[in-house]
Amino acid sequence: MAEVILENICKTYGNNFRAIDQLNLSVEDGEFLILVGPSGCGKSTALRMIAGLEDITSGSLRIGGVDVVDMPPKDRDIAMVFQSYALYPHMTVSENIAFSMRLAGKPKAERKKRVDEIAKILQLTSLLDSKPANLSGGQRQRVAMGRAMVREPAAFLMDEPLSNLDAKLRVQMRAEITSLQKQLGVTTIYVTHDQTEAMTMGDRVAVLKGGVLQQVDTPKRLYESPVNAFVAGFIGSPSMNLFEGTLKGDELIAGSFAIRLQDAAFVRRPGLRSYAGRKIVFGIRPEHLYDSGLESGRKYQTLPAKVTSIEELGSEHIVHLKIDAVRVDSGDPDAVQDFGMASNAVAKFEPESAVHSGSEIRLALDDSKLHFFDPETHLAI
């Protein structure tokens, strides 16, 4: 019975910087919630406020039904896994794991029993007497998890716990943490700026930008129906392509090409008709763009594009393209760097694609997968 409920939480730092603005979030008992957003958007601040390491400027915070705003961290019944793991180098693995029990004055036998239990779950049994300095990154990560688990807290808070691991290990630990969370059933709030972690690990994902919550939803719904251009651009890798266009009747005009929209597009979005004759922002994910020379691209409308560069990843080709349209910035600071001057669109082609750098191609586009946003507010239509 430990849901975490944030109501109108604000955080203003000493220098009058507002890091979190009116955050409302409710995490159900046993839920795995991911808090994601670009660097500096206030993820850590939010998590540290829940932990009690940072004062809450205004708003209410309840953990398991108890108002904890004025409680010190230790009374909040939470455990935290730090990005740096914060393992004590002078203590052995078992001392690290048992630290909170030792502070609480639990007898040695009880401590040992609990540490052994946890070591078994985390496969640390043979390492209990080692010092953290002698462990690998993944092992340290597991010790940090063990230290959080030992007290059976009402909620786990994790701040980018995998960011110090190499790519392969990160994939492995991602799966381990997810299955561990399911096994323990403890409410978990997990901060990351890695959108792959966000999409694969959580029950729900909360997207934060500039201290303001954008959308909270399941990964699938976040991917399929982002509420605004920022979420659309942030979720998914590579990012969604966003362009300026004009709606004329059934046609979407951008630069020198036009895309005919099907009736279904208007049926699904009653508001879309009202943009007739006006500017609009439209988006298409790289995976919904195809090489028209391949079988998969045959059935779609095409538009002219020039290939500027190709990243061959084996299972797919990431193709950078230049098309005749004005690119729109989603507002994600991390995404801007993907684009040089030469290209303004990214597509994911199948590895059979024979396009090469510099060639003029016809780009096929699945128009049923288009997203539309208001040009001013960037809200989804």
Residues in contact with Mg ion by the rule CB under 5 A: 44
Residue 42 in the binding site for ligand ATP (CB under 6 A): yes
Angle at 36 between CA 350 and CA 342, to 5 degrees: 45
42 binds, among Mg ion, ligand ATP, other proteins, none (CB under 5 to 8 A by kind): ligand ATP
Residue nearest to ligand ATP (CB): 44
Q: Which is nearer to other proteins, 53 or 69 (CB)?
A: 53
Residue 339 in the binding site for other proteins (CB under 8 A): no
Tell me how far, at minimum, the Cβ of 55 lies from other proteins, in Å: 13
**CA dist., res. 172 & res. 183, Å (int):** 17
Residue 317 in the binding site for other proteins (CB under 8 A): no
CB atoms within 10 A of CB 335: 19
Residue 79 in the binding site for other proteins (CB under 8 A): yes
Tell me how far, at minimum, the Cβ of 188 lies from other proteins, in Å: 15
**CA dist., res. 164 & res. 206, Å (int):** 22
Q: Which is nearer to other proteins, 78 or 284 (CB)?
A: 78
Tell me how far, at minimum, the Cβ of 330 lies from Mg ion, in Å: 21
Tell me how far, at minimum, the Cβ of 81 lies from Mg ion, in Å: 13
Q: Which is nearer to ligand ATP, 23 or 93 (CB)?
A: 23
3-state secondary structure of 198: helix
CB under 8 A, 24+ apart: contacts of 133-142: 133/89, 135/93, 137/164, 137/165, 137/166, 137/169, 138/165, 138/169, 138/172, 138/173, 140/85, 140/87, 141/85, 141/165, 141/173, 142/176
Tell me how far, at minimum, the Cβ of 86 lies from other proteins, in Å: 4
Q: What is the token pair recorded at 212?
A: 């303001």
Q: Which of 30, 59, 73, 255 binds other proteins (CB under 8 A)?
A: 73
**CA dist., res. 313 & res. 247, Å (int):** 36
* Beta-carbon-side half-sphere exposure of residue 198 (alpha carbons within 13 Å): 28
Q: Are 314 and 375 in contact (CB under 8 A)?
A: no
Residue 38 in the binding site for other proteins (CB under 8 A): no
Q: What is the token pair recorded at 143?
A: 């010790």
Tell me how far, at minimum, the Cβ of 145 lies from ligand ATP, in Å: 20
Residue 193 in the binding site for ligand ATP (CB under 6 A): yes
Q: What is the token pair recorded at 341?
A: 């001057």
Residues forming contacts to other proteins in the complex (CB under 8 A) are 51-53, 72-74, 78-80, 82, 84, 86, 88-91, 99-100, 103-104, 147, 151
Residues forming contacts to ligand ATP in the complex (CB under 6 A) are 13-15, 17, 19, 37, 39-45, 193
